[in-house]
Amino acid sequence: MPSSTSFLNVHLANGTNGANGANGHSESNGGSRSIRAPIDLKVLGMNSGTAMDGIDCALVHYRQKSPEAPLHMQILQYDEIPVPQWIKTPILKMLRETQTTPSAMSQINVLLGKMFSDAVKTFCELHGVDRASIDLIGSHGQTIWLLSMPKDGETRSAFCLGEGTVIAAETGITTVTDFRMAEQAVGRQGAPLVALIDGLLLRHPTKLRVCQNIGGIANLCVIPPDNEGGVDAMVDWDCGPGNMFIDAAMRYFTNGEMEYDRDGLWGAQGVVNQDIVDRFLDNNWYINHSPPKTTGRETFGDNEAQGLIDECLSLGMTKHDTVATITRITAQNIVRQYRTFLPKYFPADRKIDEIFMCGGGARNPNIISYLKTQLPDTQIRALDETGVPSDAKEAVSFAQQGLEAILGRAALVPVNSDSLTPNTVSGKIAPGRRWREVMAQAVAFGDGKPLPTVKEMVVEKKYCGWKSMAGSGL
């Protein structure tokens, strides 16, 4: 039986079930008694990052006894489904050239929806998952453009494609998409969108922790200890380039045969040109802009990467020197962000106790080695230690954001956001075949009343089916 029907078995103290009373109540001795219906849902979170290096798929089982109880989660299965070249190549070309037509964009939105629905089918076939057992999909989609910090005459906006109605129609599963616009609608920048999962995974009674993600773009979330505000005092922002420049250099030097520097082998063979690193970091407007701030391909795309490659080659540097130098830009900028901007939110002498690494760049030992050298008093760990594989974190994040959307529950908001207004429903919902069952459970949870923001999560069982950090130095 699908998990979304489990709430129907909840009985009231007087022995009746939820069908006996209107609006979720049953009458007993002239009064009403609320149904204490738990949440029991399986959600497939999906994410394709800025680098388009794969579609992350995480099937997560969520349970919560009551709105005030901790949220329990367990990753049932995780995998990465390759992005097919038939759509990756034209999209990367389109983003690089920034010239297209309304007709092309309309078609790409549908094609990306088909790409994600195909990924759902492939994931389920590979792992023997019955699609009917999945209650909900939370799909980030593919970011085409993120205008989070508009200049005069521009409008803050986010363009994430991968049509949710196509995914719902082709899979039969209710689908939530387009989370960034909901954030922007209440005055925020629409990114990084990581504080919800980072805070719930890493809150600690006494330690100040950072979750450092290095995807196409690098972003961070700082979680103060509970005795300094905890999840109610988190800050986050996008640091700048993550793997974007490194991947572009690898594609350039191998004519597209290699899409990333596996295990940092190319970078390890090169010599860093520190002058290029320092000049880039000192002169880039975004890197030196004070948070809150978010960014993407519009600032650190292939054209900017090519400029760095050309500069390195003009100085007679080898391909390995170039990759080493570009890798150092990512690593040095992360440390620069800590040292420059954390004192804005915390005492200048407050050190970071622990950094939990995630994202593809966290597997690059050249980056990890640099961070360890520059931050000797900080313990650098893999996010995998929390029970959530580092590669899976963003897919898990969108699984939970899909869950929060159908519950109508406001997520945690970092205190450095442009606006602290909670957005009760983040995302757009495309109904699937069991839409009414899923929503019946969502409405019954908390007796249809507004729900408090979840601030405590229990990882029921560590997921060990994916070893993502081998060789990283962590």
pLDDT at 1: 44
- The span from the CA of 418 to the CA of 397, in Å, is 21
Mean pLDDT by 10 residues, the chain (474 residues): 39 34 36 66 91 89 97 97 88 80 90 96 98 97 86 89 96 96 87 90 97 95 96 96 96 94 97 98 97 90 94 98 98 98 93 95 96 97 94 94 94 90 84 96 92 95 80 75
Are 317 and 400 in the same domain?
Answer: no
Residue with tokens 């800590």: 338
- Give the end of a domain, one of 386, 420, 447: 386
Residue 32 has a pLDDT of 44
Residue 6 domain flag: no
- Among residues 293, 394, 364, 362, the alpha carbon closest in space to that of 48 is found at 394
What total of structural domains would you count in the chain?
A: 2
Res 467: pLDDT: 72
pTM for the structure as a whole: 0.87
Question: What is the sign, positive or negative, of the torsion defined by CA atoms of 201, 207, 208, 209?
Answer: negative
Boundary residue ending a domain (329, 353, 386):
386
- Whether residues 313 and 439 fall in one domain: no
Q: How far apart are alpha carbons 357 and 329 in whole angstroms? A: 17
The verdict on residue 84 lying in a domain is yes
Kindly state whether residue 13 falls inside one of the protein's structural domains.
no
Nearest-5° Cα angle at 161, 156 to 164? 115
Q: Are residues 431 and 378 in the same domain?
A: no
End-to-end CA distance of the chain: 42
1 in a domain, yes or no?
Answer: no
Same-domain check for residues 365 and 445 = no
In this structure, are 163 and 280 located in the same domain? no
Question: Residue 450's domain is classified under what CATH number?
Answer: 3.30.420.40
Sheet holding 354-358, edge to edge: 235-241, 217-223, 209-214, 354-358, 379-382
Q: What is the pLDDT of residue 92?
A: 79
Do 218 and 347 fall within a single domain?
yes
| Within-domain flag for 4 | no
Claim to verify: residue 212 and residue 103 sit in the same structural domain? no
Looking at the domain assignment, is residue 299 inside a domain? yes
Question: Are residues 258 and 357 located together in one domain of the fold?
Answer: yes
Q: Which long-range contacts (CB under 8 A, 24 or more apart) does 448-451 make?
A: 448/23, 448/24, 450/408, 450/424, 451/67, 451/407, 451/408, 451/409, 451/410
Whether 16 is covered by a domain: the verdict is no
| Cis peptide bond prior to 192, omega within 30° of 0 | yes
* Cα dihedral 217/218/224/229 (nearest 10): -20
Which pair of structure tokens corresponds to residue 360?
A: 């593809």
Domain that holds residue 212: 195-386
368 and 400 fall within a common domain: no
State how far the Cα of 59 lies from the Cα of 43, in Å rounded to an integer: 6
Assess whether 88 and 174 both reside in one domain. Answer: yes
379 and 231 co-located in one domain: yes
Contacts of 152 (CB under 8 A, 6+ apart): none
Task: Look at residue 36 in the predicted model and tell me its pLDDT.
Answer: 63
Domain stop point among 362, 386, 410 = 386
Q: Are residues 252 and 154 in the same domain?
A: no
Which pLDDT does position 20 carry in this prediction?
35
Tell whether 300 is covered by a domain: yes
